[in-house]
Chain A
Amino acid sequence: MHNFHDLAKRCKHYRLKRFFLFLIIGFVLLCFAAGFFLYSKQPKTPSLSVSKEKEVVHTEKSKRQKQLKKPVQKADKTTFTKTRKRDDLSKKSLARYSLQFLVVKKENAYRAKKRKKVLEAIGFRNCKLTPYSKYIYLSCNATDNKKELNKYIDLAKRKKIDFFVDVHHYTKKETKTKQRTKQKAEKKQAIKKSRQASIAKEVPKIKKAPEPMLQVQNINLKQLEQSFSKTPSYNTALLLARNYYTDKAYKKAIYWAKKASEFNKESADSWLIYAKSLYALGRKKQAKQLLHIYLQYEYSDEVKSLLNQWENAQ
């Protein structure tokens, strides 16, 4: 046996190799078992709504999930009754189909966004990220007609993308409530619009003129003049006077201030605009005289302070 030592050496190598091989296999099996254990312990992903069901499953993962789900449903009576109710609902309900590609936790939303871009680039339409509970669902091509999905299913199969057809059942009641909410929203919008329009019309009827002048800047002055001609009032005249004053149309402002004072001679506002307009036109003496005359009959801090201001300025 001249090769005895060589054989002994080879035997040692072989046994060592086998030992490590068994060790690796054992480790892999252990990892697999641990993974499976953790996977089975993980909470199941919730569905989008109570009436939602996953119809066609194409991945092995989801098959496993299905197999896992079945005994749970049988074991738990409450869930069983729920599913029965769901079935009853689905019989009466309408369905909306979509291709669901991904369910990720909210922390991993970037993954869903990336995937969405990829899917859109491939040719899937209307890809949506729907957040629900802790998860985000990526679904595309939502449609009421299942046949419309067929070409996208083929596309997904061709591209070897995992997916399942997500069926969302909804009852006629839901559609009615949706329609009602829509109608309500539309009504609200219409009311808002009409209010905005009516504000413009109602402005002349307001007894007290709005304090800041900027509020009435956008009001159409012609419409105001027309409304004044129909129903002449102090407020409308004063509003016109203020507007023309802010527009630096001082002569018109004087005209409408006079008109306003015809309705209410005691109000300081019309006198102030009259005086300010005269002052702006350069007729400063006349403006001062006007305020002095007003102060002889009526007392107003505003008028007094303005007069003092003008006299001090000289």
Chain B
Amino acid sequence: MDYLELAQCFEEKISSGYYHQNSGVVRIKNQIANIIDNDTKQLLFLTGEPGVGKSAFLKYLESKFSYDIIKFDIPFLEPIDFVKILIKKTGTKVDNYSLEELIKQVVFLYKNSNYVVVIDEAQLLSNDMMEIIRILADSKAFWFILAMHEHESKKILQEPQFASRPHKILQLQNISLEECREYIYSELETKNATMLANTITDKYIKYIYKLTQGNMRMLKKLLYISFLLIDYAQKNNEERYKAFNKCIITMAAIETGLINA
């Protein structure tokens, strides 16, 4: 069995072909669809702890969602550049107008469309950018999905300009033990490693879950390193570490920093 290949399936990738949809993700996806279908255009805040899978979810939305999505991964934008990008997306030439004129132009261009502007790491947006987003949201030209860390989102949502406006908060949470098990098995099955999946018993799943607390990023990292270690052990004939066991998980946890040893 090629453990290196197995490790790669748990590697954090920029573009992932397969996205495992756990119950939380499915729920939020349906919520978004419902809101877009039934509500007026407004701000949607996607919150969750770091590593919970917000960015992965947004990537999935971008590729698989039936709506038109304009996604911004890097939030370090100037308001004028942000508006210019939005105008360019329609194929319209951008004139050297003032910011006010550009806002008018962009609102005019998107008024009758159903575009969803998705901004990842929105907690890093500057106040000017937040102000532009607020203005554009008020114009009812766009849907906005702002993905941000849970802690920072509380601060931003308490500000009067957001608190007083219509908005929805969608909270993505850490996966449960069952989801953790399902995720590991489904990922291994995609690589035809059903036999290996059977060796990862409930005891190991529980130990992995205890270490990662259901955080997707940590879970992926832990499994990735675990399989790398097994691969190394097999290649270097380290008998004790050739199979998936608790010691391998502990070693991976030490490497990832989950265990301070």
Taking a contact as CB atoms under 8 Å apart, the answer to whether B261 and A8 are in contact is no
Interface Cβ pair total, 8 Å cutoff: 34
Taking a contact as CB atoms under 8 Å apart, the answer to whether B232 and A15 are in contact is no
Please tell me if A297 contacts chain B, counting CB pairs below 8 Å. no
Taking a contact as CB atoms under 8 Å apart, the answer to whether B259 and A14 are in contact is yes
Taking a contact as CB atoms under 8 Å apart, the answer to whether A13 and B261 are in contact is yes
Taking a contact as CB atoms under 8 Å apart, the answer to whether A11 and B233 are in contact is no
Given A1-B228, A14-B250, A7:B259 Cβ within 8 A: no
| 0/1 string, A155-196, CB within 8 A of B gives 1 | 000000000000000000000000000000000000000000
Residue in contact with A8 in the complex, picked from B228, B231, B241, CB distance below 8 Å: B241
Task: Tell me the nearest residue of chain A to B250, going by C-beta.
Answer: A11
Please tell me if A292 contacts chain B, counting CB pairs below 8 Å. no
| 0/1 string, A10-51, CB within 8 A of B gives 1 | 110111010000000000000000000000000000000000
Q: Number of contacting residues on A, CB 8 A? A: 11
Taking a contact as CB atoms under 8 Å apart, the answer to whether A1 and B250 are in contact is no
Q: What is the CB-to-nearest-CB distance from A125 to chain B, in angstroms, rounded to a whole number?
A: 58
Taking a contact as CB atoms under 8 Å apart, the answer to whether B229 and A4 are in contact is yes
Taking a contact as CB atoms under 8 Å apart, the answer to whether A11 and B247 are in contact is yes
Q: Inside 8 A of B259's CB, which chain A residues have their CB?
A: 14
User: Bound state CA distance, A4 and B241, in angstroms?
Assistant: 10
Taking a contact as CB atoms under 8 Å apart, the answer to whether A7 and B236 are in contact is no
Interface centre among A13, A14, A15 (most CB of B within 10 A): A14
Q: Number of contacting residues on B, CB 8 A? A: 15
Taking a contact as CB atoms under 8 Å apart, the answer to whether A15 and B247 are in contact is yes
Q: What is the CB-to-nearest-CB distance from B151 to chain A, in angstroms, rounded to a whole number?
A: 30
Taking a contact as CB atoms under 8 Å apart, the answer to whether B254 and A4 are in contact is no
User: Bound state CA distance, A13 and B231, in angstroms?
Assistant: 23
User: Bound state CA distance, A11 and B238, in angstroms?
Assistant: 15
User: Bound state CA distance, A14 and B231, in angstroms?
Assistant: 22
Task: Tell me the nearest residue of chain B to A3, going by C-beta.
Answer: B255
Taking a contact as CB atoms under 8 Å apart, the answer to whether A1 and B247 are in contact is no
Taking a contact as CB atoms under 8 Å apart, the answer to whether B261 and A4 are in contact is no
Q: What is the CB-to-nearest-CB distance from A247 to chain B, in angstroms, rounded to a whole number?
A: 104
Please provide the chain A residues from 126 to 176 with a CB less than 8 Å away from any CB of chain B in the complex.
none
Q: Which A residues lie at the B interface, using CB under 8 A?
A: 1, 3-4, 7-8, 10-11, 13-15, 17
Could you give 21 example pairs across A and B, Cβ below 8 Å? Answer: A1-B228, A1-B231, A3-B255, A4-B229, A4-B233, A4-B236, A7-B229, A7-B251, A7-B254, A8-B241, A8-B247, A11-B250, A11-B251, A11-B261, A13-B261, A14-B250, A14-B254, A14-B259, A14-B261, A15-B250, A17-B261
